Amino acid sequence: MTATFETLWDAVQAEIVGLELDGLTDDTIRQQQFPANVSDNQLTSGALLCPMPEEEGPAGTNRSSDVGYGFSLTMLQKANSRLGKSQLPSLLTWREAVRKHFHHQSPLVASGCYRCTVEPTDAIMPAAWTKQYDVSTLIIRCWVLE
C-alpha cells in the first residue's frame, strides 16, 4: 500500500507540471528528501519538491483528524551575480502561478486531499544568491482526513 504522503507528493508534482509553466517539467522538478542541488549540480533552472513535517489541523471529528501533509517547492535558476528586477521573471511567475493554483483550492480531491493551502516564505533567498542561484520557496500543504 502506498503511503498518503507519497501519493500526495506525486499528485502535487503532476499538478505543477500540468500548469505548463516554462521551465517546470517532469525533468526539471526533482522529488528528493531535502532541497539541495548537490547530487550532480546539473539543475540550473527548475524546482526541488521535498516533504515537510505534517501538521494537525484544529478541526476533525471523533473518528478522524485533519492532517496537513507539507511539501516545500524550492524554485531555482542560475544567477549571474547581477542585482535587478530583470533577473527574476521566471521565479516570480512560477511562484504566483503555483500559489493561485493551490491556495484554498482542492485540485487533489482524487488523491484524498480536500483542500490545499500555500504558506509563504522569503520570495528570494539572499544566501542562495551568494552561491550563484536565485531561489524562492513555497510550502504547499495538502489537508486530508485520517
Residue 135 placed within a domain = yes
Residue 136 placed within a domain = yes
Checking if the pLDDT of 116 tops 90, the result is yes
C-alpha cell at 116: 490545499
Mean pLDDT for the chain overall: 86
Residue 69 pLDDT level (bands cut at 50, 70, 90): very high
- H/E stretch holding 67 reads strand 65-78
Q: Look up the CATH number of the domain holding residue 76.
A: 3.30.2000.10
Residue 40 placed within a domain = no
For the chain, what is the domain count? 1
Residue 97 placed within a domain = yes
Q: What is the pLDDT of residues 17-36, one digit of tens each?
A: 999 999 899 999 999 988 87
Please give the model's pTM, rounded to 2 decimal places: 0.88
Exposed / middle / buried, residue 93 (Cβ in 10 Å: 0-12, 13-18, 19+):
middle
Of 103, 95, 55, nearest in space to 75 by CA: 95
pLDDT, residue 87, reads 66
Domain of 64? 4-32+46-145
Strands 65-78 vs 45-60: parallel, antiparallel or unpaired: antiparallel
pLDDT, residue 60, reads 64
Checking if the pLDDT of 37 tops 80, the result is no
Residue linked to cell 516570480? 92
